[in-house]
Amino acid sequence: MSSDNQKFSRRDFLKTTGAATGGIIGGSLLGGFVGFKMDSTDLPTEEANETASETAEDMNMEARTFFSRSEDFRTLAAAVERIYPEDDNGPGAVELGVPYFIDRQLNGQWGSNSDDYMQGPFNPAASETHGIQERMNRGEMFLAGVRRIQEISMDEHDAEFTSLDGGQQDDILRSFEAGDVEIKGMRSESFFELLKETTIEGVYSDPVYGGNKDMMGWKMIEYPGPRMGWLSEVLTDEFMTLEPQNLRDYQGGGV
């Protein structure tokens, strides 16, 4: 197979597989799957990095429900933008509202692990096949992880994480992904996996949960959203492209 045949966009991959997984590649954290290659033209530009940083700075901080410190929220916004950056296919995590999605989730039962078994034994150093073994709940993990990102940025670059260029930010996030960072009470790779998964959830979840602003995440992959039925559509022989609708549309605005 030629290299040209192996190159396809983030949107093409998501449409084909219905998944978004992987680690850090070439200045972007979305990828790492077998057979995928990314052009230099696919990578987030320095201009895009600056725009994301400015957008994070301009966020309406009054809308937060979990992150009480603006510094923590800005660091979170910069990190999720590196995981899911803006590119030619569409907006990045910040524009899609992912930081607010995460903030809202952490302020609820999911963030406090109230529905999970949280008794011992706790063994954060256990194999990754054992799942998360930390005593900390998700909210505590996010706070500890985000603040550790900022600490490392100040120690290594004498600058806030939001002020670093994309490559420097990626290097720090790679160290978390590889488990090379010490965080009291948890493995750094556990935090990175939680950060990555929650970022992707914020991009593609229903807008009612705070992310996927204006259903732009769905529009990129041409996902039509929840429907009452498909009878009229499945009977046609023509390919149909439908404008997405969300849960509020589906339930008549009652969500």
Cβ neighbours of residue 2 closer than 8 Å, sequence gap 6 or more = none
pLDDT of residue 121: 58
Q: Where are the domains of the chain?
A: 45-223, 224-255
What gap in Å lies between CA 184 and CA 253, rounded to an integer?
44
Q: Do you find a cis peptide bond into 91, omega within 30 degrees of 0? A: no
DSSP conformational letter for 4: H
Cβ neighbours of residue 170 closer than 8 Å, sequence gap 6 or more = 24, 27, 28, 29, 82
pLDDT of residue 71: 95
Alpha-carbon dihedral sign for residues 165, 85, 189, 133: positive
pLDDT of residue 249: 67
Cβ neighbours of residue 232 closer than 8 Å, sequence gap 6 or more = none
CA distances (Å), origin 166, targets 25, 104, 142, 171: 12, 26, 21, 9
pLDDT of residue 251: 61
What gap in Å lies between CA 94 and CA 213, rounded to an integer?
10
Return the bridge partners of 186, or none. Answer: 183
CA distances (Å), origin 2, targets 6, 11, 25, 233: 7, 20, 20, 37
Query: Which amino acid makes up residue 117?
Result: Y
What gap in Å lies between CA 173 and CA 112, rounded to an integer?
24
pLDDT of residue 69: 92
What gap in Å lies between CA 10 and CA 230, rounded to an integer?
27
- The predicted model scores a pTM of 0.69
Residue entry with tokens 């979990």: 66
Q: Which residues of the chain have pLDDT under 70?
A: 1-62, 114-134, 228-229, 247-255
pLDDT of residue 127: 54
What gap in Å lies between CA 148 and CA 80, rounded to an integer?
15
Burial class (CB in 10 A: 0-12, 13-18, 19+), 29: buried
